[in-house]
Amino acid sequence: MSGWVWAVLIILAFLSFLFILILLTKLTITLSLYHGNDNDHFKVKLRAWFGLLRYTFDVPMVKLDDDGPNIVVEEKNIRGKESEPSSEKESKKKITASDFINSLHDTKAILIHVKGMHKIIRSFLKKVKIDHVHWKTLFGSGDAAATGTITGTIWALKGSIIGLISGYMRLQTQPSVEVVPSFQKAIIQTHFSCIIQFRIGNAILVGFKILRYWRGGRAQFKMKMLSRLSEEKQQSV
pLDDT grade, residue 183 (50/70/90)? confident
> How high is the mean pLDDT of the chain?
80
Does 170 score more than 90 pLDDT?
yes
Q: 132 versus 106: which is more confidently predicted?
A: 132
> What is the Rg, in whole angstroms, of the alpha carbon atoms belonging to the chain?
23
Tell me the mean pLDDT in the region 186-208.
92
Tell me the mean pLDDT in the region 163-168.
92
pLDDT at 5: 77
Cβ neighbours, 10 Å, residue 146:
12
Q: 116 versus 167: which is more confidently predicted?
A: 167
pLDDT at 237: 47
pLDDT grade, residue 233 (50/70/90)? very low
pLDDT at 47: 93
Q: Report the percent of the chain where pLDDT is more than 70.
A: 73
Tell me the mean pLDDT in the region 198-210.
90
Cβ(134)–Cβ(193) under 8 Å? yes
pLDDT at 232: 47
Interatomic CA distance for residues 155 and 163, integer angstroms = 12
Q: What is the model's pTM?
A: 0.77
Beta carbons within 8 Å of 220's beta carbon, 6+ residues apart? 109, 230
Beta carbons within 8 Å of 231's beta carbon, 6+ residues apart? 218
